[in-house]
Structure 1
Amino acid sequence: MRLLSLPLCLSWVLALCLAAPPHHKEGHSDPYHKEDHAHPDQHGHPDQHSHPEHSHHHDFVRCSGIEFDAITLDEHGVTYFIKDDHLWKGYRGSSEFINQTFHELHGSIDAAFRMHHKVKPEDHDRVFIFKGDHVWSFYNHTLEDGFPKLINSEFPGIPYELDAAVECPSGECNKDAVLFFKGSHVYSYDLLTHVVKEKDWPAVMNCTSAFRWLEHYYCFQGTKFQRFHPVTGQVSEGYPKDVRDYFMKCPDRGHGDKTREAVFGRCSGKPFDAFTADDEGKVYAFRGDYFLRLDTKRDGYHYWSITSNWKELHDHINAVFTWDHKMYFIQGDQVYIYKSDVHYTLVEGYPKPVEEELGVKGPVDAAFLCGDSHVVHIIQGKRMLVVDMLETPRKVVREWPLHFDHVDAAMCGPEGIRVFIGDIYYEYGSPMLLATSKMEPHPHKTRKELLGCDN
Structure 2
Amino acid sequence: QGLCCRTVVLSIWLSMNALLTKWRSPAAVPDRCQGIEMDAVTVNEDGIPYFFHSGFLFKGFHGAAERANETFTELDEHQHLGHVDAAFRLHYEDHPTEHNNIIFFLDTQIFSYYQHKLEGGYPKNISEVYPGIPDHLDAAVECPKPECEEDSVIFFKGDEIFHFNFKTKAVEMKEFTSMPNCTSAFRFMEHYYCFHGHNFSKFDPKTGEVHGRYPKEARDFFMRCSKFSDDSDHVERERCSRAHLDAITADNEGDMFAFRGQSFICKEVNDTLKVEPIELTFKEVKSDVDAAFTFKDDLYLVKDEHVFAYRVGENHTLLDGYPKTVKEELGIEGPIDSAFSCDEHQHVHVVKGQLMYDVDMAASERNATNERSIMFPSDAAMCGPRGVTLVKGNHFYHFDTLKLLFSRAVPERHQVSLELFGCDH
Give the TM-score, by structure 1 length: 0.48
Counterpart in the other structure of 2:95: 120
SS in 2 for 1:136: strand
* Correspondence list, 1:51-66, <5 A: 58-66=28-36
Distance 2:237 2:91 in 1: 37
Deviations 1:259-281 (A, max 9, x none): 976xx979534479xxxxxxxxx
Aligned residue identity for 1:199: K
Contact 1:71 1:209 in 2 (8 A): yes
Distance 1:248 1:13 in 2: 34
Contact 1:269 1:423 in 2 (8 A): no
Counterpart in the other structure of 1:95: 65
Deviation of residue 108 (structure 1)? Answer: 1.1
Q: 1:269 to 1:80 in 2, by over 3 A?
A: same
Distance 2:236 2:248 in 1: 11
Paired residue for 2:128, among 150, 153, 166?
153
Aligned residue identity for 1:422: P
Counterpart in the other structure of 1:105: 75
Deviation of residue 17 (structure 1)? Answer: 3.3
Aligned residue identity for 2:213: G
Contact 2:61 2:223 in 1 (8 A): yes
Aligned residue identity for 1:239: Y
Contact 2:33 2:227 in 1 (8 A): no
Contact 2:40 2:85 in 1 (8 A): yes
SS in 2 for 1:152: helix
Deviation of residue 247 (structure 1)? Answer: 0.9
Counterpart in the other structure of 1:144: 119
Deviation of residue 135 (structure 1)? Answer: 0.2
Tell whether 2:151 aligns with 1:172: no
Tell whether 2:63 aligns with 1:83: no
Deviation of residue 84 (structure 1)? Answer: 1.2
Counterpart in the other structure of 1:316: none
Aligned residue identity for 1:155: Y
SS in 2 for 1:137: strand
Contact 1:424 1:445 in 2 (8 A): no
Deviations 1:275-295 (A, max 9, x none): xxxxxxxxxxxx9879xxxxx
Paired residue for 2:158, among 183, 186, 211?
183
Tell whether 2:208 aligns with 1:245: no
Unaligned runs of 5+ in 1: 1-11, 20-57, 273-286, 291-419, 427-439
Q: 1:260 to 1:207 in 2, by over 3 A?
A: closer
Q: 1:134 to 1:14 in 2, by over 3 A?
A: farther
Contact 1:156 1:194 in 2 (8 A): yes
Tell whether 2:182 aligns with 1:212: no
Aligned residue identity for 2:25: C
Tell whether 2:208 aligns with 1:233: yes
After superposing on structure 2, the runs of 4+ consecutive aligned residues of structure 1 that deviate more than 3 Å are 12-15, 252-261, 264-272, 287-290, 440-446, 449-453
* Correspondence list, 1:421-440, <5 A: 422=385, 424=387
Q: 1:442 to 1:65 in 2, by over 3 A?
A: closer
Aligned residue identity for 1:214: M
Q: 1:157 to 1:96 in 2, by over 3 A?
A: same
Distance 1:219 1:441 in 2: 41
Distance 1:259 1:159 in 2: 37
Contact 1:181 1:205 in 2 (8 A): no
Deviations 1:322-367 (A, max 9, x none): xxxxxxxxxxxxxxxxxxxxxxxxxxxxxxxxxxxxxxxxxxxxxx
Q: 1:260 to 1:189 in 2, by over 3 A?
A: closer
Aligned residue identity for 1:248: M
Aligned residue identity for 2:115: N
Q: 1:130 to 1:16 in 2, by over 3 A?
A: same
Contact 2:85 2:105 in 1 (8 A): yes
Deviations 1:343-395 (A, max 9, x none): xxxxxxxxxxxxxxxxxxxxxxxxxxxxxxxxxxxxxxxxxxxxxxxxxxxxx
Deviation of residue 145 (structure 1)? Answer: 0.7
Distance 1:220 1:258 in 2: 19
Contact 2:160 2:175 in 1 (8 A): yes
Deviations 1:148-190 (A, max 9, x none): 0000111111100000000001011111100000000110001
Contact 2:220 2:237 in 1 (8 A): no
Aligned residue identity for 1:71: V
SS in 1 for 2:84: coil
Tell whether 2:239 aligns with 1:268: no
* Correspondence list, 1:305-316, <5 A: none
Contact 2:152 2:165 in 1 (8 A): yes
Q: 1:94 to 1:231 in 2, by over 3 A?
A: same
Unaligned runs of 5+ in 2: 1-19, 77-81, 256-268, 273-382, 390-399, 417-425
What percent identity do the matched residue pairs reach? 39
Deviations 1:215-253 (A, max 9, x none): 110000101110000001101110000111111111133
Aligned residue identity for 1:206: N
Aligned residue identity for 2:120: D
SS in 2 for 1:105: helix
Distance 1:202 1:120 in 2: 33
SS in 1 for 2:24: helix
Deviation of residue 16 (structure 1)? Answer: 2.8
SS in 1 for 2:219: helix
* Correspondence list, 1:237-386, <5 A: 237-253=212-228, 256-257=234-235, 268-270=248-250
Distance 1:78 1:217 in 2: 16
Aligned pair count reads: 245
SS in 1 for 2:248: coil
Q: 1:131 to 1:442 in 2, by over 3 A?
A: closer
Distance 1:259 1:121 in 2: 37
Contact 2:138 2:183 in 1 (8 A): yes
Give the TM-score, by structure 2 length: 0.52
Deviation of residue 423 (structure 1)? Answer: 5.1
Tell whether 2:175 aligns with 1:200: yes
Tell whether 2:26 aligns with 1:18: yes
Aligned residue identity for 1:141: H
